[in-house]
Structure 1
Amino acid sequence: MSTTATTRTRLVTPQFVLLGGAALAYFLADGLLVPTVPRHVAGALAGGNLAVGLVVAAFSLSALVLRPWAGRLVDRRGRAVAMAGGGIAFAASVAAYGWADSVEMLAALRLLTGVGDAFFFVGALTAMTDLAPAERRGEAISLFSLSLYVGLAVGPPLGELLFATAGATVVWLVAAGSAGIAVLLALGVGETRPDTTVTDARHARLVPRAAVVPALLLLALVWGMAGFLAFVPLYALDLGLSGAGLLLFGFAGIVVVIRSAGARIPDRLGAARSVRIALLCSTIALVVIGGWRSTAGLVAGTALLGIGVALGTPAIMMLALERAPANERGAVMGTVSMSIDLANGLGPACFGLVAAATDRGFGFLAAALVAAGGLVLAARGGRAALTNRAESARTAAG
Structure 2
Amino acid sequence: MTTSAAPSSTGSPPDRRRLLTPAFVGLAVADLAYFTAVGVSVLALPLYVTGPVGAGTAGAGLAFGAFAITALILRPAAGRLADTVGRRPLLLCGALLCAVGMVATAHVESLALVVAIRLLAGVGEAAFFVAGFAALVDIAPPTRLGEALSYNSLGLYLGITGGPLLGGLLIAVGGFTGAWYGAAVLALVAAAVVLTIGETRDPAAADAEPSPLIHRGAVAPTLGLLASIIAMGGFLAFAALHAADLRMVATGVPLATYGAVVVVCRIAFARVPDRFPPLALGTAALCLIAAGLVVMAATPTTAGLILGAVVLALGITFSTPAFFAAVFATAAPSERGAASATASIALDLGLGGGPIVLGLVAGAAGIPGAFVVAAAVALVGAGWTAILHRRAGLAGLRADQYGSTS
Deviates more, 1:307-316 or 1:82-91: 82-91
Change (3 A) 1:238 1:220: same
In structure 1, which of residues 258, 264, 279 is the aligned counterpart of residue 271 of structure 2? 264
Matched, 1:92 2:72: no
1:39 aligns with 2:47: yes
Render the CA deviation track for 1:54-113: whole Å, top value 9, x for unaligned: 111111221121111111100010000111111111111221112223100111011111
Alignment of 1:9-88 (within 5 A): 9-88=17-96
Correspondence for 1:145 among 150, 153, 165? 153
Q: Give the corresponding residue for 1:250.
A: 257
2:257, 2:306 within 8 Å by CA — same for their partners in 1?
A: no
- CA distance in 2 between counterparts of 1:136 and 1:7 reads 7
Return the structure number with greater helix share: 1
The secondary structure found in structure 1 opposite 2:395 is helix
Q: Which amino acid aligns with 1:149?
A: Y
Distance 2:104 2:133 in 1: 27
- Number of equivalences: 386
Equivalent residue number for residue 201 of structure 2: 193
2:363 counterpart of 1:353: no
Q: CA deviation at 1:7?
A: 9.0
Give distance in 1, aligned partners of 2:344 and 2:360.
25
Give the alignment's TM-score, normalised by structure 2.
Answer: 0.92
Q: Is the 8 A contact 1:36 1:160 kept in 2?
A: yes
Determine what percentage of the aligned residue pairs are the same residue.
40
Cα distance per residue 1:263-302 (max 9 Å; x no partner): 0111112312210110110111112211233333322211
* Structure 1: distance between partners of 2:183 and 2:61: 21
Residue of 159, 174, 189 corresponding to 1:166:
174
1:115 aligns with 2:115: no
Match of 1:281 among 284, 288, 295: 288
Supply the distance in 1 between the matched residues of 2:25 and 2:335 (Cα, whole angstroms). Answer: 24
**Separation in 1, partners of 2:135, 2:32:** 15
Deviation string for 1:305-356 (max 9, x for gaps)?
0000011001100001112122110111111011111111112111210111
- For residues 172 and 380 of structure 2, the distance between their equivalents in structure 1, rounded to whole angstroms, comes to 45
CA-to-partner distance for each residue in 1:133-169, whole Å, 9 max, x for gaps? 1110000011000111111222111111211331111
What is residue 332 of structure 1 aligned with on the other side? Answer: 339
Q: Which consecutive residues of structure 1, in runs of 5 or more, have no partner in the other structure?
A: 392-398
Q: Letter of the aligned partner of 2:159 in structure 1?
A: G
Which residue identity is paired with 1:310?
T
Distance 1:154 1:240, change over 3 A: closer
Note the C-alpha offset of 1:21: 1.0
**Mapped partners of 2:347, 2:15: distance in 1:** 33
Matched, 1:176 2:184: yes
2:373 corresponds, among 346, 360, 366, to: 366
Q: Work out the CA distance in 2 between the residues paired with 1:149 and 1:61.
A: 22
**C-alpha RMSD of matched pairs (Å):** 1.7
Kindly tell me: are residues 390 and 277 of structure 1, through their superposed partners in 2, closer, same or farther at Cα, counting changes over 3 Å? closer
Shift, 1:201, TM fit: 4.4
- 2: CA distance, partners of 1:199 / 1:35: 44
Letter in 2 for 1:213: A
For 2:94 and 2:247, how far apart are their aligned partners in 1? Answer: 45
Q: Which amino acid aligns with 1:258?
A: C
- Contact kept, 8 Å, 1:75 with 1:201, in 2: the verdict is no
Q: Partners in 2 of 1:348 and 1:272 — Cα distance?
A: 25
Question: Secondary structure of 1:86's partner?
Answer: helix
Displacement of 1:49 in angstroms is: 1.5
2:229 maps to what in 1? 222
Write the distance in 2 (CA, Å) between the matches of 1:298 and 1:96. 41
Q: Aligned partners of 1:269, 1:7: CA distance in 2, in Å?
A: 15
Asked whether the equivalents of residues 32 and 156 of structure 2 are also in contact (C-alpha less than 8 Å), the reply is: yes
Deviation at 1:50, TM superposition (A): 1.6
**Alpha-carbon contact 2:170-2:182 (below 8 Å) kept:** no
For 1:175 and 1:197, locate their aligned partners in 2 and report how far apart those are by CA, in whole Å: 35
Partner of residue 304 from structure 2, selected from 297, 302, 324: 297
- Name the residue aligned to 1:377: 384
Task: Tell me which residue corresponds to 2:4.
Answer: none
Which residue matches 2:139? 131
| C-alpha separation in 1, matches of 2:14 and 2:283 | 31
Structure 1 runs, 4 residues or longer, greater than 4 Å off: 5-8
- Native 8 Å contact 2:289 2:375 kept in 1: yes
Structure 1 residues 23 and 201: CA distance shift in structure 2, 3 A? farther
CA contact (8 A) 1:201 1:328 kept: no
Specify the alignment match of 2:112 in structure 1.
Answer: 104
CA contact (8 A) 2:15 2:141 kept: no
Task: For CA contacts below 8 A with separation 6 or more, give which structure has more relative contact order.
Answer: 2
Counterpart Cα distance in 2 of 1:268 and 1:8: 15
Tell me which residue corresponds to 1:394. Answer: none
Partner of 1:9: helix, strand, or coil? Answer: coil
